[in-house]
Amino acid sequence: MSWRGWPFAKAPAAPDAPHALLADIEKQGKQYLDEVDNGKWVYPACKRTASDAGADKDSVCNHTRLEAVRYLLAVPRGELRLLAEPDTQPVILEGYLRQLPHDDTVIEFTGNTMSDLAIAVIAGFNWLNHCASLADADRRKFSGTLSHFRKIAASAQQWWEMDGAKERYAQMLQARHEPPLFLHLVWADYGRLANEIAAARAGRRG
């Protein structure tokens, strides 16, 4: 994917939109995990039956994405905020692309922020792959998940390395478009896969 053909999406607000999105993700994620701990929801969401609360397609999709993002919420020192900062994008993307893939859904953090962010993102994709198996989703749509996202990250890295990236970033926010912040990339791809899982779960009707 070339940065020149980047699929810009409409954003809900202007200059502080990335931070607003991040704050909303943190709020929703922590609330959902607290409710899981208190027994409100069957966890993981992909295992819910028709008689369970939150078994509708939208709830399963939203909750599955929050389950994937919980690894990022656990990154030490609240460094998740760096995903929404334009100044940190080149180093975050480089750190992700250097990180060796793993297949773990139980992880340990290293103390290195960029490595920890990358490890958490990969763990989220591994969780989604795990949920896809539980939901009997179409495995063709989950084949090469990490390779697919790596291509997206590499294209974003090229975008940020081009001259005038910060100016383009500001212009896009002003026009209410989503620039290729790592936050947007991860949230969007988690959502795409969570939707496939929710659709498969809805198709089973059990």
DSSP 30-93: HHHHHHHHTTSS-SSGGG--TTSTT-SHHHHHHHHHHHHHHHHHTSGGGGGGGGG-GGGHHHHH
* 44 found inside a domain: yes
What is the pLDDT, as a whole number, of residue 151?
97
Beta carbons of 128 and 44 less than 8 angstroms apart: no
What is the pLDDT, as a whole number, of residue 34?
98
Question: What pLDDT band is residue 89 in, cutting at 50, 70 and 90?
Answer: very high
Q: Is 152 left (phi over 0), alpha (psi -120 to 50) or beta?
A: alpha
Domain count of the fold of the chain: 1
* 135 found inside a domain: yes
What is the pLDDT, as a whole number, of residue 99?
95
Look at residue 28 and tell me whether its pLDDT is greater than 90. yes
Q: Average pLDDT for residues 58-81, to the nearest whole number?
A: 96
* 163 found inside a domain: yes
* 49 found inside a domain: yes
Mean pLDDT score of the chain:
91
Q: Is 136 left (phi over 0), alpha (psi -120 to 50) or beta?
A: left
What is the pLDDT, as a whole number, of residue 29?
97
Look at residue 174 and tell me whether its pLDDT is greater than 70. yes
Nearest to 64 by CA among 195, 202, 205, 186: 195
What is the pLDDT, as a whole number, of residue 3?
36
More confident call, 53 vs 175: 53
What is the pLDDT, as a whole number, of residue 144?
93
Q: Which domain holds residue 110?
A: 13-204
* 2 found inside a domain: no
Look at residue 2 and tell me whether its pLDDT is greater than 80. no
What is the pLDDT, as a whole number, of residue 14?
58
Whole-number Å distance between alpha carbons of 203 and 44 = 17
* 96 found inside a domain: yes
Beta carbons of 60 and 54 less than 8 angstroms apart: yes
Q: Is the peptide bond before 44 cis (omega within 30 degrees of 0)?
A: yes
Nearest to 196 by CA among 141, 148, 133: 141
What is the pLDDT, as a whole number, of residue 47?
96
Reduced to 3 states (helix: H, G, I; strand: E, B; else coil), residue 142 is coil
Q: Average pLDDT for residues 109-115, to the nearest whole number?
A: 95
* 8 found inside a domain: no
Residue-wise pLDDT tens digits, 118-164 = 999 999 999 999 999 999 999 888 999 999 999 999 999 999 999 99
Q: Average pLDDT for residues 90-101, to the nearest whole number?
A: 96
What tokens does 42 get? 């069957």
What is the pLDDT, as a whole number, of residue 50?
92
> Among the listed ranges 9-18, 30-39, 54-63, which one has the minimum average pLDDT value?
9-18
